Structure 1
Amino acid sequence: MLLDEPLDFEKEDPLLPKARPAKRKKVIELDDLLEDFFASGKDDLKAYGIESKHGSKGYNSDDEDKKVKEKEIKFRKFVEEYEEQSKELDAGDDVPQWGQRVFGCQKSPSVLSVTGVENCQLLKSFCANEHLGFDLNIEQGEGFLEGLLVDGWLLKLVLLHGSVEDSIASWALTKLLYSCNKKFRVAASDFWDSVLSLNEADKLSVDIGHFPSYSVLKSAILNYGYIFDNCTEVSTSESVIADDGPPQNIIEWLKITSACCKIRNVHSIFSSSEAEELLVIVISLFLDRQLEGLLLILGDCLSSLILYFNSSEWESSCLIVAQSISQRVTMDLNCLRIVDCITGTDYHSKFLRSQLALQFLKVSFGLKVANVEKILKSVMSINVKDKDCNFFSLYVYLVLMDNLLFSSDAFRDKHAIINSWRNYLRNCSTQIGCTDWRLYASKVRNKASYLLQGAVLRRSAGGASLPVQ
């Protein structure tokens, strides 16, 4: 055997089968259709030319050109009709995202300093103490307090004395709400958070005579440019939102509001009506896209305000808040954003989520009284097979109706309502075809299927109920 000769196994047939001819793609693009169209047209023309060549008239190039032009015109009309139909289907594709203007132009406060802080007993005690070695003038009082505040010594002195003077409390609150210096407002926020915290005996650590009032907090949020209230008129000069982001003191405002709500068992700072207005303000802040990075702080403040109400006053206050929100928020993705921001699992949160959905649906259908049966009948009257069906509105109705029926336990025993709703969800999930290109049709089908599964799980978890027809 020579070295250059191939080995025995190299002479054998290859193990791998020969490559199969490439199959035609299942997805045929428009270019492929165009090529096939003209190719088939030319083949027909060739056949026509051959047939006529043997006939009496013979082959005519003018007839071939005319035939090609007719096919081109017919194909062009087909493409134009298809484009027009596509435009009609996508006419509402520009659905606006959630987001509503909450803040306009901010106003700078006229005076930051608080009169009388130079004469507080805390500074006088420093001046009178010879061992400390401080030589303070009246003009140096506020500057000295700022240093104590930033270094944390002001809080230690207050905790040591067991009380906060009104002038010190007012001065620190003004720094918290209006100071442009981040160090001052953060230090003031930490100061107030510690002062308003409860000890092991569920009592305040120090005596406070001056608490943050509703009027002060409301004045501050209006100073930040808050314009969510329908009664607030915005001039043309204030209609442009600044590009420098949200108000710089909004974080501290949310923290102090939350801290005030958490001590209601010790000291009730806000009345029910005042807490209702603050709750409306905080809920509306979830619509501002500039505040998306503050969801944790917003959620904590929202939860504190919701739990601020006791059981006897919550139902009436919840109704007032839901009505106020429903009159200001449009029936689009904004109302869904509002409902979704109520994420608590306690009774107060679930009841508020249900009432918000109810009031939104009431306003949408123009009802003077929030009647669940009428609302359900109105939603179920929407035929998904109708050519003019507004799937976007139906999508909003599905989400709101699901929150209305299942957020709270009010309709747990309403078997007729629940089963009717399940039947409609099943119809929406089965009667909308997968090839339906209308706006939000696929989203309605998927959302209905998802909600139907959740409704079935709730039924199995909550016990037996009437069967779905």
Structure 2
Amino acid sequence: MVMDEPLDFEEEDPLLPTARPAKRKKVIGLDDLLEDYFATGKDELKAAGVKPKHKPKGHNSDDEDKKVREKEIKFRKFVEEYEEQSIEFDAGDDVSQWGQRVFGCQKSPSVISSTGVENCQLLQTFCSNDHLGFDLNIGQEEGFLEGLLMDGWLLKLVLVHGSVEDTIASWALTKLLYSSNKKLRVAASDFWNSVLSLNEAGKLLVNIGHFPSYSVLKSALLSYGYIFDSHTKASTSENVIADTADDGPPQNIVEWLKVTSACCKIRKVHSIFSSSEAEEFLDIVISFFLDRRLEGLLLILGDCLSSLILYFNTSEWESSCLSVAQSIAQRVRMDLNCLRIVDCITGTDYRSKFLRSQLALQFLKISFGLKVANVEKILKSVTSINVKDKDCNFFSLYIYLVLMDNLLFSSDAFRDKHAIINSWRNYLRNCSNQIGCTDWRSYASKVRNKASYLMLFCKVQC
């Protein structure tokens, strides 16, 4: 090797590469694309409606549409089968709502007649007094009194005088019960509520000889269209719940309730109704709770109901309560209406609880066809219902659970009877445990939930 010769690595290629010739890009114009399109014959295939033979896999629209249609058919069949099964399971869920027709078509009152108010001493005093300067022509007397009544002056004059003339009392009561003028009937109601009020000494504020009688109040109800027949069981249907312009509720029913309640509150001073008449009014007022069109009057209804319950003497109450409970149980069906009746007795006093218990007892007695209201037999009949039975009527069982709970725990009569309470508690536990969460039978879930709630409440009460 010669020293002056270049080394091997010095003969290698230079580190920096030589510049490569730039590639020429081919510019494809619109004319070239059109030539390719027509050369392949795609235009002829498209015009003839012929689909290409080779398509990318997974994009066959016909196959996809066919699969979608098959899935839709399968899903539709599944939905139809599910609906058929659900109809079979829920055949009993089509239960009518509570509500019964209490008022029908109203009648024109036949009791409104001349009360002789033009000859009352009050008007004679106004006409004969020269200082007052009133000169009333014939036929203007009633209009003058209506003005005094609505302005509150009639009540002030009565309170100052200390007594109410019979003609004035009868005239004001007629306006209260039948007037279509809202301001006039409200003023008449306020007048009577004040007249029937007691002072601190427990006496009436004024002397009065003409009180609202049973016959007058009952005639007013009949003119209002009261149709709750005591001899036939009322039915529940859509036309019962529907409201029309011709069949109530009567516009004077609020004033009727108020004056009836006021009459009951003065029992210690003056007994206006007999016990049998008070029983009938109690029966009627309880039936008002079944009319859905009176739901806005629950406070007034509750006050009148409480006044009627407290109207009876201690010696009269138990027999009167039994009579009212039997009358109502014979007229109300064993559906949601009977539960509505029991629930409307919301008082916490002894009499209200006793009435609620008696109502539940009479409903159960009639339902099981017992001649005597025997609690042990009723309990045995209820607890013998097997919730695992395929033909178990859970709707009826739900009603029995609510009524039995009111029967046993509304009053204190059965709190010390441990055998009855334990038997009832065990049955509630069975209803709660033996009815599965997936049981779709009508009212099954409601019975399970109600039994669980009542079982907890039973433990608290005991």
8 Å CA contact 1:177, 1:252 repeated in 2: yes
Matched, 1:435 2:441: no
**2: CA distance, partners of 1:406 / 1:72:** 56
8 Å CA contact 2:90, 2:441 repeated in 1: yes
Residue 405 of structure 1 corresponds to 408
Query: 1:80, CA displacement in angstroms?
Result: 4.7
**What runs of 5+ residues in structure 1 fail to find an aligned partner?**
1-66, 460-469
Q: Which has the higher contact order (CA 8 A, sep 6+)?
A: 2
**1: CA distance, partners of 2:110 / 2:233:** 22
Residue 178 of structure 1 corresponds to 178
Q: Residues 152-231 of structure 1: matches in 2 within 5 Å?
A: 152-231=152-231
**1: CA distance, partners of 2:317 / 2:384:** 34
Residue 98 of structure 1 corresponds to 98
**Kindly tell me: are residues 121 and 375 of structure 1, through their superposed partners in 2, closer, same or farther at Cα, counting changes over 3 Å?**
same
Of residues 249, 252, 256, the one that matches 2:255 is: 252
8 Å CA contact 1:197, 1:204 repeated in 2: yes
Q: Write the letter of the residue equivalent to 2:118.
A: E
**Kindly tell me: are residues 190 and 413 of structure 1, through their superposed partners in 2, closer, same or farther at Cα, counting changes over 3 Å?**
same
Q: Write the letter of the residue equivalent to 1:144.
A: F
Q: Residues 275-294 of structure 1: matches in 2 within 5 Å?
A: 275-294=278-297
**1: CA distance, partners of 2:81 / 2:428:** 34
**Kindly tell me: are residues 223 and 75 of structure 1, through their superposed partners in 2, closer, same or farther at Cα, counting changes over 3 Å?**
closer
Report Cα offsets for 1:392-420 as digits up to 9, x if no partner.
11000000000000000111111100110
Of residues 226, 242, 245, the one that matches 1:243 is: 245
**Identity %, equivalent residues:** 85
Query: 1:166, CA displacement in angstroms?
Result: 0.5
8 Å CA contact 1:113, 1:174 repeated in 2: no
Q: Residues 18-97 of structure 1: matches in 2 within 5 Å?
A: 80-97=80-97
8 Å CA contact 1:428, 1:448 repeated in 2: yes
**Kindly tell me: are residues 113 and 256 of structure 1, through their superposed partners in 2, closer, same or farther at Cα, counting changes over 3 Å?**
same
Matched, 1:319 2:322: yes
**1: CA distance, partners of 2:444 / 2:344:** 25
**Kindly tell me: are residues 198 and 146 of structure 1, through their superposed partners in 2, closer, same or farther at Cα, counting changes over 3 Å?**
same
Query: 1:190, CA displacement in angstroms?
Result: 0.3
Residue 333 of structure 1 corresponds to 336
**1: CA distance, partners of 2:316 / 2:454:** 32
**1: CA distance, partners of 2:457 / 2:420:** 16
Of residues 341, 346, 355, the one that matches 1:352 is: 355
Matched, 1:118 2:121: no
**What runs of 5+ residues in structure 2 fail to find an aligned partner?**
1-66
**1: CA distance, partners of 2:78 / 2:122:** 87
Counterpart secondary structure, 2:453: helix
**Kindly tell me: are residues 196 and 87 of structure 1, through their superposed partners in 2, closer, same or farther at Cα, counting changes over 3 Å?**
same
Q: Normalised by the size of structure 1, how large is the TM-score?
A: 0.80
Aligned residues: 391
Query: 1:71, CA displacement in angstroms?
Result: 10
Q: Write the letter of the residue equivalent to 1:87.
A: I
Of residues 387, 401, 421, the one that matches 2:424 is: 421
Residue 36 of structure 1 corresponds to none
Q: Write the letter of the residue equivalent to 1:364.
A: S
**Kindly tell me: are residues 290 and 74 of structure 1, through their superposed partners in 2, closer, same or farther at Cα, counting changes over 3 Å?**
closer
Matched, 1:266 2:269: yes
8 Å CA contact 1:101, 1:288 repeated in 2: yes
**2: CA distance, partners of 1:74 / 1:205:** 82
**2: CA distance, partners of 1:123 / 1:180:** 24
8 Å CA contact 1:254, 1:298 repeated in 2: yes
Query: 1:137, CA displacement in angstroms?
Result: 2.6
Report Cα offsets for 1:330-352 as digits up to 9, x if no partner.
11110000000000011110000
Query: 1:315, CA displacement in angstroms?
Result: 0.3
**Kindly tell me: are residues 76 and 190 of structure 1, through their superposed partners in 2, closer, same or farther at Cα, counting changes over 3 Å?**
closer
Query: 1:84, CA displacement in angstroms?
Result: 2.4
8 Å CA contact 1:114, 1:167 repeated in 2: no
Residue 144 of structure 1 corresponds to 144
RMSD: 2.4
**Kindly tell me: are residues 79 and 117 of structure 1, through their superposed partners in 2, closer, same or farther at Cα, counting changes over 3 Å?**
closer
8 Å CA contact 1:436, 1:442 repeated in 2: yes
8 Å CA contact 1:127, 1:136 repeated in 2: yes
**2: CA distance, partners of 1:198 / 1:97:** 42
Query: 1:86, CA displacement in angstroms?
Result: 1.5
**2: CA distance, partners of 1:395 / 1:448:** 9
**Kindly tell me: are residues 426 and 210 of structure 1, through their superposed partners in 2, closer, same or farther at Cα, counting changes over 3 Å?**
same
**1: CA distance, partners of 2:145 / 2:75:** 83
Q: Write the letter of the residue equivalent to 1:309.
A: F
